């Protein structure tokens, strides 16, 4: 009975860990930890001979692991990354590579890439001037002249 209980709990624990891989909700890993630790405890004669005691140990360990995993999961999932793609350009400084007319489109080089750009207040910005990206409109940057 002792060896059999150990095997059953380990298989259940490994099964829960595998399920967690496909459903990363931090729930099944708690059950997996509970089952694996219960399997280790069931190797002791006192625990191995009592199925109700094994179930109680499994429940307690799984609950404690769930609380810990929930806290860990919240901490990991609450980290918000910055803007990505073109939205990461907002606030960056660039250089005008083709004059931006008062009510037209020019080009700006930001971070090694050249982008079509319009001036936010519809003022002329000359070639070589520094600008700050204020926003994005489709595939164009909305820029303003950088104040030194």
Which whole number is the average pLDDT over 70-98?
A: 79
| pLDDT band for position 56 (cuts 50, 70, 90) | very high
> What one-character DSSP code corresponds to residue 89?
G
CA 114/CA 142 separation, integer angstroms: 13
Environment class of 141 (CB within 10 Å of its CB; exposed 0-12, middle 13-18, buried 19+):
buried
pTM: predicted TM-score of the whole model, two decimal places: 0.53
Answer whether residue 2 shows pLDDT above 60: no
CA 35/CA 48 separation, integer angstroms: 13
Name the range with the highest mean pLDDT among 69-73, 111-115, 129-133: 129-133
Q: What percent of the chain has pLDDT over 90?
A: 55
Q: What is the pLDDT of residue 1?
A: 45
Nearest to 119 by CA among 135, 110, 109, 128: 135
């Amino acid at each position: 009975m002792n060896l059999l209980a150990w095997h059953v709990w380990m298989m259940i624990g490994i099964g829960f860990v595998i399920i967690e891989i496909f459903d990363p909700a931090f729930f099944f890993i708690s059950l997996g930890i509970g089952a694996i630790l219960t399997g280790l405890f069931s190797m002791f004669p006192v625990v191995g001979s009592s199925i109700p005691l094994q179930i109680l140990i499994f429940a307690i360990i799984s609950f404690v692991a769930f609380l810990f995993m929930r806290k860990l999961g919240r901490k990991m999932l609450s980290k918000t990354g910055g803007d990505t793609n073109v939205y990461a350009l907002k606030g960056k400084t660039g250089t005008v590579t083709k004059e931006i007319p008062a009510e037209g489109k020019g080009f700006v080089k930001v971070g090694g890439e050249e982008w079509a750009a319009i001036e936010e207040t519809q003022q002329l910005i000359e070639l070589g001037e520094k600008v700050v990206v204020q926003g994005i409109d489709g595939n164009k940057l909305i820029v303003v002249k950088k104040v030194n």
